[in-house]
Amino acid sequence: MTPGASPVTRSSGEIPDRAAAAGGNHGAGMDVGKAAALHIALADWRRRSTWVDMVMLALRVSLLVLVSAGLLLSLAHNEYSAADWLSFAVFGLTLGSIYALISLGYTMVYGVLRMINFAHGDVFMAGAFGALIVADPLIATGSLFAVLALIAVGAATSAAIAALIERVAYRPFRHRGTLAPLICAIGVSFVLQYTVRGFFGTGSRAYHDIPVLDGVVILGPLQVPLVQLFVILAALLAMGALHLLVQHTRLGASMRAVAEDRETAALMGINADRVVTFTFLIGGVMAGTAGVLYALVFKQIHAFMGFAIGIKGFAAAVLGGIGNIPGAMVGGFVLGLAESFGPAALLSGFGIPAPYQLKDAIAYGLLVIILIFRPQGIFGERLAVKRM
């Protein structure tokens, strides 16, 4: 697919670039004049690169200038205190936890099927609503255990829906080699959105206040909402569990084997369909967990929220290198932190009023920037091309 294929072609311009730079350094160390060596290297690079490489280089340089200028100006402005920056960091990690959990579903499904599950954002949304059904009686008990039960219900809802989607909407079309799965994903996405709207209405809904998560924790000059710490902790636990599952169980090994070479995995007796179902299930568990955590932090959920947040999760997966599990986790946190730091750190210096309104511009700007510098994502390999 495109995210895999493009890096290889696009990055080709970089190699002569680097080779030339290395040649330049080498020449400087020898008797040949530094300037002459540089001149030769430059001429060599010009000869080897196309206008696309030139444009990319110009883009990279201007981006670097813009970002550094924004950063320096903002720092000079000195508008925010140290405590402000710390609270941005905690909020960024909170947001990042949620993005990271969502992005895992995209990346695992891509790893196993080389397909983007565009309904995944709505799987996330459905988890938040699944928990809403049981939220009142659970929250009424007032215990922390009830919050965990809420997460479990959300996770189970999303997992069941994700596995169902795979079974009825993707599997029948898997070997057809057409756009059918993509169209199905979009269809499923609408079905989920309008089903939830039918049951819960168009407006925003919320869980009742949960007293155990209400307070703030005071860390030196910093007041951190307890719920944010809870969300970060819960997400880290979920990701730790996922890591153990993928790296240290037979099921996890079979999943990695199918991702790498489906046919040979079959020769080992691994049923790829089972592995695919399992992949959707755990992707759903992560998304449902994210859905409940999101509802706890932002205190409002609605039927159409899955689209925008799902795209962010997808962006996080691409950022980390799609198909790469640790990459998705890191990508989520990078995106969350960028969104929370970016407006203050990059925009306030330019004197832009209400920079926080532009947080999405920062988030997607970051995505574009990272992909310009590193088309394969942070952890992605050059060899992201389909191996079949």
Closer CB to other proteins, residue 39 or residue 382?
A: 382
Cβ of residue 382: shortest distance to other proteins, in angstroms? 14
DSSP H or E stretch at residue 335: helix 325-342
Residues 124-143: x/- map of binding to other proteins (CB under 8 A)? --------------------
| Token pair of 126 as six digits | 């459905």
Count of residues near other proteins by CB under 8 A:
17
Distance in Å, CB of 70 to other proteins, minimum = 39
Q: Which is nearer to other proteins, 193 or 254 (CB)?
A: 254
Provide the token pair at 385: 């091309």
Q: Please state, in angstroms and rounded to a whole number, the distance separating the CA atoms of residues 33 and 42.
A: 14
C-alpha pair distances (Å), 16 with each of 20, 41, 198: 6, 10, 57
**Are 314 and 335 a contacting pair, CB within 8 Å?**
no
52 or 383, CB closer to other proteins?
A: 383
Interacting residues with other proteins between 236 and 295 (CB under 8 A):
250, 253-254, 256-257, 260-261, 263-272
Alpha-carbon span 181 to 159, nearest angstrom = 19
Type of residue at 302:
H
Tell me how far, at minimum, the Cβ of 275 lies from other proteins, in Å.
Answer: 10
Angstrom CA distances, 117 to 107, 112, 180, 223, 263, stand at 9, 12, 12, 38, 22
| C-alpha dihedral (156, 161, 167, 173), degrees to nearest 10 | -140
Tokens 């991702």 -> residue: 259
Min separation Cβ 40 and other proteins, Å: 37
Burial 226-256 (b: 16+ CB within 10 A, else e): ebbbbbbebbeebbeebeeebeeeeebebbe
Task: Write down the least CB distance from residue 265 to other proteins, Å.
Answer: 8
Q: Which is nearer to other proteins, 140 or 388 (CB)?
A: 388
Q: 18 or 274, CB closer to other proteins?
A: 274
| Continuous segment of H or E residues that includes residue 224 | strand 222-225
Determine the angle formed by the axes of helices 305-320 and 82-113, rounding to 10 degrees: 80
Please, what is the minimum distance in Å from the beta carbon of residue 269 to other proteins? 3
Q: Are 339 and 287 in contact (CB under 8 A)?
A: no
Tell me, residue by residue from 59 to 98, as one string, x for binding to other proteins by CB under 8 A and - for no binding: ----------------------------------------
Neighbours of 141 (CB within 10 A): 11
- DSSP class of residue 230? H
Between 78 and 178, name the residue whose CB sits nearer to other proteins: 178
For CA atoms 170, 171, 172, 177, the dihedral sign is: positive
Tell me the closest approach of the beta carbon of residue 112 to other proteins, in angstroms: 14
Shortest Cβ 225–other proteins spacing (Å): 40
Q: What share of the chain is helix, strand, coil (3-state, %, to 5)?
A: 80, 5, 20
CB of 253 to other proteins, least distance (A): 5
- Closest approach of Cβ 213 to other proteins, in Å? 40
Give the end-to-end CA distance of the chain in Å, rounded to a whole number.
Answer: 13
What does the binding site for other proteins look like in residue numbers (CB under 8 A)?
A: 250, 253-254, 256-257, 260-261, 263-272
